[in-house]
Amino acid sequence: MRRITTILGALAALTLVGCGGDVDETFTGSLESGDDLVPQDNSFVDTYTFDTKEGYSCTIDMTSTEFDTYLMLQGPDGGDLGQNDDVAAGNTNSQLTVVAPSSGTYTVSANSKTSGLTGAYSVHVVCAKAG
């Protein structure tokens, strides 16, 4: 729970709405001076939300060619469902895959690994009925 708990109430969110529990949305943005900050390290962060249903499998990918990405996911109850820095050794993009523990609104935080880093990024969210 490195950073996730303290950013909950402080950040505005963009909403991605899925049909039923299915989601296939891409959000593109840029971390930049003036964005919200993660209090623990003063790194820039953008957040957005999506709705899905209990039992749906969700994969969230964050990519950037300009900085080392850091991805965080919170469930409808505000609990930390995962964080990821590097998808694999030598790959500074981030990925999380979770099965939604309940129906509701999930919050994705698009962040950089190191404070002060800026640049363009893309977050792709896909949720589909598991099994």
Distance CA 13, CA 23 (A): 17
Residue 97 · residue 108 · CB < 8 Å = no
Nearest in space to 116 (alpha carbons), one of 20, 16, 18, 37: 37
Q: Which residue has the higher pLDDT, 87 or 16?
A: 87
State pTM to two decimals: 0.83
Q: Which residues pair with 31 in a beta bridge?
A: 119
Q: Provide the token pair at 126.
A: 């896909």
pLDDT at site 20: 75
Mean pLDDT of 70-77: 96
pLDDT at 8 over 60: no
Distance CA 88, CA 19 (A): 31
What CA–CA distances, in Å, run from 100 to 12, 28, 74, 108?
22, 23, 10, 13
Per residue in 32-71, pLDDT (tens digit) is 999 999 988 999 999 999 999 999 999 999 999 999 999 9
Average pLDDT, the chain: 87
Residue 70 · residue 94 · CB < 8 Å = yes
Mean pLDDT of 14-38: 82
pLDDT at 77 over 70: yes
SS3 track for 28-51: EEEECCCCEEECCCCEEEEEEEEE
Distance CA 55, CA 72 (A): 19
CATH entry, 4-129, from 3.40.50.150, 3.10.20.30, 2.60.120.380, 1.10.3720.10: 2.60.120.380
pLDDT at site 19: 52
